[in-house]
Structure 1
Amino acid sequence: MKDFVVTTSFKTDPEKLAEAVALANAFQVPYLERGKASIRRIIGDKEGALVVYKDKLLFRSNTGETLSFHPDTAMLRIKAPRDPLSELIGSSPFQILDTTMGLASDSIVMAYAGHQVTALESDPLIHLIVSQGLKRFVSGNDQIDHAMRRIKTQCVDSLAFLKAAPDQSVDVIYCDPMFSENITESENLSGLASLANPARMTPEFLAEAKRVARQKIILKAHFKDSSFETLGFDRLVRPNTKFHFGVIDVSSTRLSQS
């Protein structure tokens, strides 16, 4: 998205004003002084506005959709007695490549469990808002804050990243693409509809993932999605849930082929 503007909150300071101007220059979009104008008025006929607040960045579209960073979902999962993704990965510290960062909930949970996480996001606005949130957000829990700060992010197309990656250079590759079925309460869709990359997993992507992963590839998808069977994942059925996990154990495959 290029047709947006950058502004600040009503109450700002020279540091945040300079940040807003720098972001406008980086995205090559207009900076508009906020003054007393509403966000709706600032947006005008543009697609949206990126607003620099004291403690966060927020994008608001011309339809009223908003995107900002908050690790609430990850925090709830961390506090829960068990987390299916964490159990699936295991307790041994792994190098994990999250190819679909989005709001980074999965990345935070994995980093909190002690894994070394690199998260990829193809959309520059999502990457900016979430990566800055990971660096700045104060949750009130030092361990969660430390986990967020340890996550490395890159704004890059995940397939392009995999093609450039060396063979067997990460332990686990995690994929959470946009669901084929609409889940209105899904964090993947909330606030991201106009920005998120709708690309699905393809055989080309999977072939590169198999080359780059040392241990396993994990796919999260809607329970009606046929990608598990089509692409050769072992589906892990989760009763009474709207999404399942699928796993390809590349380490076992290499052993059987050697």
Structure 2
Amino acid sequence: MQRIIVTTAGRPDEESYQLAKQVSEDLGVPFIPRKKRSISKISLLYEANVLVAGKNRLEYYGKGSHMPFFFHPDTAAFRLKRLKRGESEPFLEACALQSSDSFLDCTLGVGSDAIIASYAVGEKGKVIGLEVDPVIAYIVRRGLKEYETAEISLKRSMERIQVVPCEAVEFLKMQADESFEVVYLDPMFEQTIEESNNFESLREVGSHHPLTEEWVNEAYRVAKKRVVLKAHFRSTHFEDFGFERKVRLTSKFHFGVLEK
């Protein structure tokens, strides 16, 4: 596993210093004083990924990368606005989520789909997001709770999500049969789809786990209503694992459904 260190922003005050120390303790990784050095220099010197604890957000740089990963609701913000206007949401149509449902996102990533799911299931529902990389999980968990927005429904939807740092198959094996209405699979795309820089930075520092028969079988066992897969339109995952493909002619990704 790549070594990880924590440092402060370029011109830290006492608050930034204390935040960096807290992150260091939370994750059990070394704190390295910034000393006006660039992130690339620190990364090279310590041969490590660098987590920068700034006032407004945590930024995670892969070794040798100049583009950090950080939490942002990304597409969820404008998707939520469209939902409120009564427009369709292909993800929700594929999941068929209802108020008070439970939803398990096996590949949380930046959390955009989980936020929409949380909005759909409401306060009486439950959304759990799995993230195998502990640093990504930490950043997203804090971001979901601490991100500042005046959009109350977005804020509440983010706050309700429970982030679990665990590998998906390992977590699924610990769950009872039919313990979540919907289980969602969005493995790291074989081909790049998202245009956001944040998605690209996630590809650099995140963990990549290919979809397997064991993963799909465990997801099917744990799901009460359906398993939903999101993948590139050229992906053979739909046919390989028996998903009913929901073709979207104007999109680069499709959804697949395994009904119970």
State the TM-score, normalizing by the size of structure 2. 0.89
Q: How far, CA to CA, are the matches of 1:100 and 1:206 in structure 2?
A: 13
2:96 to 90, 95, 112: 90
> Which sits farther off after the overlay, 133-142 or 57-66?
57-66
Say whether the 8 Å CA contact 2:131–2:137 is kept in structure 1.
Answer: yes
> 1:109-149, CA deviations, whole angstroms, 9 ceiling, x for partnerless residues?
11122242100000011101111100100122011101100
Aligned to 1:73: 75
Query: For 1:38 and 1:118, how far apart are their aligned partners in 2?
Result: 36
Q: 1:166 aligns with which of 158, 176, 197?
A: 176
- The match for 2:52 is 51
Structure 1 match to 2:61: 60
Preserved CA contact (<8 Å) 2:131 2:165: yes
Cα deviations across residues 204-252 of structure 1 (Å, max 9, x unaligned)? 11111111110000000011111111111100000021110000111xx
Distance 2:98 2:25 in 1: 43
CA distance in structure 2 between the aligned counterparts of 1:239 and 1:150, rounded to whole angstroms: 33
1:202 aligns with 2:212: yes
CA gap of 1:184–1:133, structure 2 versus 1, over 3 A, is: closer
Contact 1:110–1:117 (8 Å) recurs in 2: yes
Deviation of the 1:13 alpha carbon: 4.3
- 1:103 is matched with which residue? 110
Residue in 1 aligned with 2:39?
A: 39
Identity in percent: 37
- Please tell me whether residue 147 in structure 1 is matched to residue 153 in structure 2: no
With the length of structure 1 as denominator, give the TM-score of the two structures: 0.89
Shift of the 107–184 alpha-carbon distance from structure 1 to 2, 3 Å rule, reads: closer
Amino acid at match of 2:7: T
Partner-residue secondary structure (3-state), 1:191? helix
Contact 1:7 1:52 in 2 (8 A): yes
Contact 1:97-1:172 at 8 Å conserved across structures: yes
- Kindly provide the amino acid, as one letter, of the partner of residue 31 in structure 2: Y
How far residue 98 of structure 1 moved from its aligned partner, in angstroms, is 0.3
Matched position secondary structure for 1:193: helix
Report whether the alignment pairs 1:112 with 2:119: yes
Q: CA offsets per residue over residues 176-201 of structure 1, 9 Å max, x none?
A: 00112233626784211222222122
Return closer, same or farther for 1:28/1:118 CA change in 2, 3 Å cut-off. closer
Give the residue type in structure 2 aligned to 1:7. Answer: T
The aligned counterpart of 1:134 is 144
* Residues 2, 27 of structure 1: 8 Å contact kept: no
- Which ranges in structure 1 are unaligned for 5 or more consecutive residues? 251-258
* Cα separation, 2, equivalents of 1:39 and 1:197: 22
Q: How does 1:185-200 map to 2 (within 5 A)?
A: 185=195, 189-200=199-210
> Residues 197 and 40 from structure 1, CA distance in 2 versus in 1: closer, same or farther, beyond 3 angstroms?
closer
In 2, Cα distance between equivalents of 1:10 and 1:234:
50
Pairwise CA distance, 1:6: 0.7
Amino acid in structure 2 at the alignment position of 1:75: A
CA contact (8 A) 1:2 1:29 kept: no
Residues 216-227 of structure 1: pairs in structure 2 closer than 5 A: 216-227=226-237
Contact 1:120 1:158 in 2 (8 A): yes
Q: 1:178 to 1:71 in 2, by over 3 A?
A: same
Cα distance in 2 between the residues matched to 1:131 and 1:190:
19
Q: How many residues align?
A: 250
